[in-house]
Chains A and B, each alone.
Chain A
Amino acid sequence: MEGLLGLLQGFEVVFTWQNLAFALIGCMTGMLVGVLPGVGQSAGMALLIPITYHLDPAGAIIMLASIFYGAAYGGTITSILMNVPGESESIVTTFDGYPMARQGRAGVALSISAIGSFVGGTSATIALALVALPISRIALQLGPPEYATLMILGLTLAAGLLGTSVLKGIIMVVFGLMLSQIGSDPGLGIPRLTFGNPNLLDGVPLLAIIMGFYGLSDVLLSVFRPLTIGGSASKITRLLPERSDLACSVGPILRGTGIGMVLGVLPGMASAVSTFFSYAIERRVSRTPERFGKGAIEGVAGPETANNAFANASFLPLMTLGIPGSAALSILFGALMIQGVTPGPLMFRDHPDVAWGLIASMVVGNGILLALSFPLIGIWVSILRLSADLIGAIIIVVSLIGVYTVQNNPFDILALATFTMIGAGLKWLGYPLAPAILAFILGRPIESAIIQSLNIAQGDFTVFFTRPISLTFVAVAVLVLTSSSIRLYREAAAERRNLRGAQS
């Protein structure tokens, strides 16, 4: 009940002209960056943080959150129309969405995605509203050892679940933790690794890392990438799904909602896992699995629903535990911190307007997306023809001005330039950046949780393994890492056998 009252309070925050306008602008911008080649969801959010800095907290967060789900839908548009998935979670959508488009059913695929996203997103949001308060109360009961191991578990999931190398993921986590060590020490205020630079006493500016890793480094690296002109977009004839399409999609949408919600609440879980699960399950339950990959509407409806349910459910660990699950959410985390709101269990007590406004804005934002997705598709398709050099230059100018305007300190520009170089180098070497950003954000909270635990246990390091809950977290973390490593090793061995077989 409390949750529903909170949600009502949230609607009060959202339903002002100003905040509705922010949600609308956010959804449009989100779809725009989702559609633009070479600009992902995270980059779009990173670029707009400086602009939202000058708004009030509720408006700023509503706008950034709208960009978050708007961009997810933008990725759907390019996946279906052009076979270009923006992010890894959209890959599955290309399997059946693009064949549907080639059969002239692009409009149907897009509308079923929009409907599925709306159902999945709204259900997840209502569930979030209902359980957020009770969970944040449980979170407040967690002791420092449990909290420390829970955050480490989140980082482990982020490092170990996706990608070709578990080791590279862990290295990036350690790198992010090391970066978080720069600045004054939390206990005594002694400067650490600041190299005599007073600008570093407050730590490395988060915005510089986020914008360098996600906005600028890709622009700089674009000079090495052959110009890819997306395939010609398919024509859209019919928009609304037929009754048979809807009948086929009810099951996938319901199952997708469930899958997305369950996986979304796990901190550090990747969204691509939910789309993969949904696709695999739809294929298994289907009476005609051979249609999959050739334009089966179930293969679009399920994963797209799961993706959006996941995205909205993943706000739960962010808002109740203070653990962002993905790169995009860590950017939102950073934006909240810049606004003076600490995401975590205390958010509902200290900043109820922001917390509930954010949740309510998800319902409104999903509605806006559903309404906007059809009339604007033509515009998005034409935007795809904007030239990459212009987009790149705009990103460079906006991010440099943006990072400066937050504190009016030219040092932040130099920091941004430095992290752009580091990010470009790491991308070139094939390291994932999301785990580093997550680790950077969680570094200080983990450090203080560990120090508190050690103080409670009088310096005994076994405190993390003797309490049942924290031991469980550690065990799950170890399990995830070993199972991922074994899976990757087996696949590599299988690939090697295939290669050898092909050669002989």
Chain B
Amino acid sequence: MSKDWIGCAAWAAVGVGSLVAAADLQVMTRFGPGPGLFIRGLAILMLGLAVAQAVGLLLSRRTVVRSRATPDNPAAILNADENDEAMDVTQSGLVRFAALAVTLFAYGLVLERVGFLVSTTLLAFVAMTVLGRSASRSAIEAVMAVVVAWLVFGQLLGVNLPNAAIAPLAAIGL
């Protein structure tokens, strides 16, 4: 299972990275345990767990399909994982996933520059289109969504929603 090895490597990296990042934090001070005690302890624990996982992966011969819970075997519920829905990673799926991810970060970066109304309309439009709605329908619904969001957050709950900071947009009152 290559997936399990990815996880294992990531945890080892988290452990090593935290040790490096916490290198200048003191473990013990004159007053007792210092700021670096726990993060170091946890990082070492994490490295240990990553090693344990790697050993487990090397020793296990093949993956086991768990039995599903049935009326005759209700105990199998205890083995149900938190997220066991099947995922099918396709190329188009990856592109859409990346598009959504970029949109999330972009919203945080532009919100206070182009203002709430413009950025949220764009966000709603991109989100709906990428998730599979037709562009024309998304455009209309995005505008509707922003009006509703503006009414609920800005008017009903009294939140200060940001106006545009850049000149041309600010000039027309967005």
Contacts and interface: CB of A to CB of B under 8 A. Distances in A.
Contacts of A421: 101
Contacts, number: 247
Nearest to A272: B77
Interface string A316-346: 0000000000000000000000000000000
B52 interface: yes
Contacts of A398: 149
Interface in B49-64: 49-50, 52-53, 56, 61-62, 64
Contacts of B10: 425, 429
Interface stretch (A17-25, A167-175, A234-242): A167-175
Contact of A416 (B11, B22, B74, B104): B104
Given A178-B14, A293-B71, A414-B105, A276 B78 contact: yes
A95 B70 CA distance: 7
A401 interface: yes
A393 B77 contact: no
A417 B83 contact: no
B127 A392 contact: yes
A421 B98 CA distance: 10
B65 A410 contact: no
B29 A400 contact: no
Contact of A193 (B39, B93, B127): B39
A280 B81 CA distance: 20
Given A167-B53, A393-B145, A429 B6 contact: yes
A109 B58 CA distance: 48
Given A88-B80, A162-B78, A417 B101 contact: yes
Contact of B81 (A390, A392, A432): A432
B43 A178 contact: yes
Contacts of A161: 78
Contacts of A288: none
B174 interface: no
Contacts of B74: 92, 95, 276, 279-280, 283
Interface in B79-95: 79-83, 85-90, 93
A466 interface: no
A280 B49 contact: no
For the residues of B in contact with A, the DSSP-based class is: helix
A222 B93 CA distance: 9
A96 B43 CA distance: 47
A388 B131 contact: yes
A181 B133 contact: no
Interface residues of B, number: 87
B80 A91 contact: yes
Contacts of B138: 393
B124 interface: yes
Contacts of A405: 153, 157, 159, 161
Given A181-B39, A388-B131, A400 B123 contact: yes
B91 to A, nearest CB: 11
Given A224-B88, A389-B128, A396-B127, A413 B97 contact: no
B10 to A, nearest CB: 8
A161 B29 CA distance: 38
B75 interface: yes
Interface in A187-245: 187-188, 190, 192-193, 195, 216, 219-226
Interface string B113-140: 0000000100110011011110000100
Given A91-B80, A226-B86, A417-B105, A54 B158 contact: yes
A410 B43 CA distance: 30
A283 B74 CA distance: 10
B86 A414 contact: no
A15 to B, nearest CB: 24
A185 B35 contact: yes
Contact of B131 (A272, A392, A447, A459): A392
Interface of B: 3-4, 6-7, 10-11, 14, 18, 21-22, 25, 29, 31-36, 38-39, 42-43, 45-46, 49-50, 52-53, 56, 61-62, 64-67, 69-72, 74-75, 77-83, 85-90, 93, 96-97, 100-101, 104-105, 107-109, 111-112, 120, 123-124, 127-128, 130-133, 138, 141, 145, 149, 152-153, 157-162
21 contacts: A88-B82, A92-B74, A162-B79, A164-B66, A171-B50, A224-B87, A224-B89, A293-B71, A299-B71, A389-B133, A393-B141, A408-B159, A414-B105, A416-B104, A428-B89, A429-B3, A429-B4, A433-B83, A459-B33, A499-B64, A499-B65
Given A54-B158, A417-B105, A420-B101, 15 more contacts: A51-B157, A91-B69, A95-B74, A162-B78, A167-B49, A171-B11, A178-B42, A192-B36, A193-B22, A219-B100, A224-B93, A410-B112, A414-B105, A454-B32, A454-B33
- For the complex of A and B, the 3 pairs showing the least CB-CB separation, nearest first, are A293-B71, A413-B108, A185-B35
